[in-house]
Amino acid sequence: MIRLVPLLGVVLLGATTAIAAGPDMGAVQKQATNWPAIFMFLFFVLFTLGITYRAAKGSKSASDFYAAGGGISARTNSLAIAGDYMSAASFLGISGLVYSSGFDGLIYSTGFLVGWPIVLFLIAERLRNLGKFTFADVASFRLDQTSIRIISATGTLVVVAFYLIAQMVGAGKLIQLLFGLDYLYAVVIVGALMIIYVAFGGMKATTWVQVIKACLLLGGATFMAGAVLYLYDFSPEKLFATAVQTHPKGDAIMAPGGLVSNPIDSISLGVGLMFGTAGLPHILMRFFTVSDAQAARKSVFYATGLIGYFYILTFIIGFGGIALLMSDPSYFKLGADGTTYDKIKDMVGGTNMVAVNLANAVGGPYFLGFISAVAFATILAVVAGLTLAGASAISHDLYAQVFARGRTTEKAEVNLSKLSAVGIGIVAIYLGYVFENQNVAFMVGLAFSVAASCNFPVLTMSILWRGTTTWGALAGGLVGLVAAVVMVVLSDAVWVKTFGHPVALFPYANPALFSMPLAFVTIWAVSSMDRTRRANRERAAFDAQFVRSETGIGASGAHAH
């Protein structure tokens, strides 16, 4: 069995497997200790721990813990959204895909980016007007609290669990490559820090960790791309011409079709990327941190610009890697004769290290250390957001609303959320260690598929279609969840590469094209057949929900919903 490990939880299996970016890292060799990177990372950690300490002193209520009291500005929130979304996998993985496949590497950048107009026009304002702390607040606004919160919390925890496992494994492998630390130490460091950020600082600390990380990542990527363009007189034409002459595939790197050739898989991949983004619980939580729906809309607008700019930079970095690194043997493992090497397969650390090696080529060892530290800091920002989303689902959606049925105090709810963050962190450390050498690439595909097939249909149908009923939403969410999981398990990534069967029972790597429509059709069909009294009351309550979702009347603040 080929061992495939995702880079920061986002992996490309073969040509078309995972929903996010980042080819196989393979067996990772521990590198020499990178002291500049370690010192820069320690500075980042100490600075953010100081922020966490201040945030902990200011977090007095459930609103403070879950939503930063609704006091985050639109511009700050846009940076936090970008920081939560721009993973190191996007930075290292997509640049690596461009390096190996050329133009086609942008398929992931495009898929990630085009999901944001959906968030902007369909979700952001309505979410802020209807919700309080989690997207389950919105989905259950006029539907049965218990049933909808259970399916919403289940979808959230599945996404968080699989995303976190992949992040932890990717973190350990990345740090072995960049810092020279042991895998176990890396996993424990990431897990301990994410527990501290979330359990003590809540959303305020998580927000500022994500903001700082976004600024560092954008700044580092901008400098690197600018340095590449400077070497080619700021002429993309010269850069591309050099890349075509250097790359083994020649002119083919400027044409589509080299990465994802199966049209069905290509469409399914795009569906998963687009609609999965609009169902990620840690992203949806960010819209409750601003004061009103207008700020939520601005947050998405600004974040889309930042994310789009970032993906342009990864494109330049990928082609810069082709032009500057492929002809330099010092960045490759040489053959037995000491001179020959494969320009794609033999790069030290694999193609995911293109951006890191390019940092050394254009900025020397200290810039290499900076980029390495930023890559690690990026993991912390992402796992902090995931942990907070999982803890919120347990304490707010399940405990407070389902088990206690509202008969609890804010203090008890927040305390449980902090304990949940600790528990999630410990479990993540354990699973990250256990899955070190396992094929976990499918987990990210599963996370995005569940987000697109369970969370997104339940959320959108509950706020956009009058006919949606509790039974319809419950059945549709469950069908989407089960279908996504089953299709991923039966695909080549798991059925063949993990279980060892000769042929995959589900022929496509990405299930969203099939599982998401199935969820929508189930919601429509079951809701249409539901003629109970409760269903009639839920349909009648749509008008009040619609007015509030469009106008914000009655949604004066995140803490006063």
Per-residue pLDDT at 30: 59
The reported pTM is 0.85
Per-residue pLDDT at 3: 33
pLDDT tens digits along 286-343: 999 998 888 999 999 999 999 999 999 999 999 999 999 998 998 888 888 878 888 8
482's CB contacts (< 8 A; 6+ apart) are none
- 3-state SS record for 344-394: CCCECCCHHHHHHHHHHHHHHHHHHHHHHHHHHHHHHHHHHHHHHHHHHHH
- What confidence tier does 28 reach under pLDDT thresholds 50, 70, 90? low
Q: Encoding tokens for residue 461?
A: 């149908």
- What confidence tier does 8 reach under pLDDT thresholds 50, 70, 90? very low
**Residues 499, 1, 429, 158, Cα dihedral to 10°:** -40
For 238, 257, 329, 374, 458, the CA distances from 248, given in Å and listed in that order, are: 18, 16, 15, 31, 47
Average pLDDT value for the chain:
85
Average pLDDT over residues 195-223: 91
Selected residue with higher pLDDT from 172 and 88: 172
Selected residue with higher pLDDT from 171 and 423: 423
Per-residue pLDDT at 7: 34
Highest mean pLDDT among 98-112, 131-145, 191-205, 528-542: 528-542
Average pLDDT over residues 400-429: 89
Looking at the predicted structure, is the pLDDT value of residue 482 above 80?
yes
How remote is the C-alpha of 387 from its chain's centroid? 12
Q: 320 near 228, Cβ under 8 Å?
A: yes
Looking at the predicted structure, is the pLDDT value of residue 252 above 80?
yes
Phi-psi region of 257 (alpha: psi -120 to 50; beta: other; left: phi over 0): left
Per-residue pLDDT at 149: 93
Selected residue with higher pLDDT from 171 and 184: 184
Looking at the predicted structure, is the pLDDT value of residue 404 above 90?
no
Q: 224 near 358, Cβ under 8 Å?
A: yes
Looking at the predicted structure, is the pLDDT value of residue 228 above 90?
yes
pLDDT cut 70: percent of the chain above it: 91
Looking at the predicted structure, is the pLDDT value of residue 148 above 90?
yes
Selected residue with higher pLDDT from 537 and 293: 537
Per-residue pLDDT at 67: 87
Q: Encoding tokens for residue 234?
A: 């700021």
pLDDT tens digits along 490-514: 988 889 887 888 999 999 888 999 9
Looking at the predicted structure, is the pLDDT value of residue 90 above 80?
no
Residue 347: beta bridge partners?
332
Question: Of the ranges 2-6, 146-150, 322-326, 452-456, which one carries the lowest mean pLDDT score?
Answer: 2-6
pLDDT cut 90: percent of the chain above it: 40
> Which amino acid does the sequence have at 364?
G
